[in-house]
Chain A
């Protein structure tokens, strides 16, 4: 089963959606058409391009100069910046959604970044690699070395990912800073959602990555 079969996207034919990453398709599906979105750590702008096909007003921040220049050369509204230091410069409620796709684990202060996402945006969409994934556990348990996967091929000494977490860890952080999960999806190794009706520990074991639609929680 391919990604687009499980993640039908209005306005995109299956041939085109096949070009996009499974987690991007899932994120795009979570965003209401016509809304205003900030993609933090937008890389080469693939997700922003996908969002623009859905009539979404997208902006991006990207740390690497090469990434920014490639985005700008695609005509995207992207600025060079750092999630850790530059989010404070954005005013409250500036966006309908702020997206942090596969970047949380590379920030210095994930908690502060997460708080900023939900200050700037009325909603946040966060995806990250799940370090509780069974293959990761197996590499530590059997191999006795830091896990490396197809999606995370860097060795421990040159990885940019300094704050790995599991889905369980992330859920706990959200509870702690009073963030509400509106939607949670774990994708397995093939980009397929882990069935909803299974308990959390299954997600944490079989989800290769987690994708979460978050809103501000009520007063505690």
Chain B
């Protein structure tokens, strides 16, 4: 029989991950029965909680707050060591001392999205009505639901207008939803590698990922928590497929080519002969250590449903009529998941709405993931955009 090695099992136990779901290692805002979250599906979610991190201090005018919106598999741990993986924060390239988003200048907030699994209420949380994990009883959520929840958090923090809302990918979708839903509460918006709607191709990739999760017998129709297991194989496959879409042909070729993994010759088996296979398997198995399978289903679904124009009679520009927010839109040349054409369509709509918008396409072969990587040209633009907005807003550059 031909040899086979499958994706390695996660090194970190499920307990560590599931503990973060209800008892996150971050700040938590609880919203009781008197403050339900009205969801697009018609359900009022109550009670619920939002786990969030902050960096820096809110100034006396409460005018220096920047909300970071995280991407599909991100969380609130932007610029601190991750409590489960022990790895650095996911956006330390952009956020930190001397970086474009400097905590000595801004009060930076990032909240785990509703439906997530790092402390904000989601399908992995305990349903207080039953005392059991929500699983598929959790209502389907949307990007506008996530933003509505964030707005409740911002209210709770006593902030009226955000100086900035910043995010890439699904985070960029939230940025755009913020400007469409609460234009007067967003002074400047930095939307990176994103779109105002999820394309058919992107929905297709998400469906592939979801089917991989559901095909794992350990998924148990979403009820795996009751069985004390996690469909880590299905979720790892979903992650592997998705990870390819975050890269580019050129980046994969540059990084791996056809190089072999710890061997000179093919083994004539289904072992991970190629470095790229080994890399993908690692991506898959490390992802399942920190992410809940049902949460992945819910969040991918939220992205699929996203269509700002659809919510405004099919005319995108109508979503931004009369908007005063300063926009900066950034795309990357090799991003085929959220290609430049999507950003350009957004820019045209913003122009048609007379919005103040900057748009830069950055040349890189690193694909969609470029927004998380060290791309100096992108940092220069982010810094200059926020600095000029700060000048217009009357921020003096330091905490006042």
Residues of A in contact with B (beta carbons under 8 Å apart): 57, 59, 65, 68-69, 71-81, 86, 89-91, 94
Contact = CB atoms under 8 A, between A and B. Distances in A.
Interface in B347-400: 347-348, 351-352, 354, 356-363, 377, 380-381, 383-385, 387-389, 391
In the A-B complex, the 5 residue pairs with the smallest Cβ-Cβ separation, listed nearest first, are A75-B388, A79-B359, A89-B348, A73-B384, A72-B358
B351 A72 contact: no
Size band of the interface chain B makes with A: 20 to 34
Contact of B381 (A69, A77, A79, A94): A69
B56 to A, nearest CB: 22
A79 B352 contact: no
B381 A89 contact: no
Contact of B354 (A72, A79, A94): A94
B328 interface: yes
Contact of B385 (A57, A59, A72): A72
A65 B326 contact: no
A90 B358 contact: no
A79 B352 CA distance: 13
Contact of A72 (B347, B348, B381): B381
Contacts, number: 67
Given A72-B384, A74-B384, A94-B351, A65 B356 contact: no
Contact of A89 (B352, B356, B357, B360): B352
Contacts of A59: 351, 356-357
Given A75-B385, A77-B326, A65 B361 contact: yes
Contacts of B347: 79, 81
B352 A72 contact: no
Contacts of B363: 65
A209 to B, nearest CB: 29
Contact of A78 (B358, B377, B387, B391): B358
Nearest to A86: B348
Given A59-B351, A89-B352, A91-B352, 8 more contacts: A65-B360, A65-B362, A72-B360, A76-B358, A77-B326, A77-B358, A79-B347, A86-B348
A90 B356 contact: no
Contacts of A94: 351-352, 354
Contacts of A89: 348, 351-352
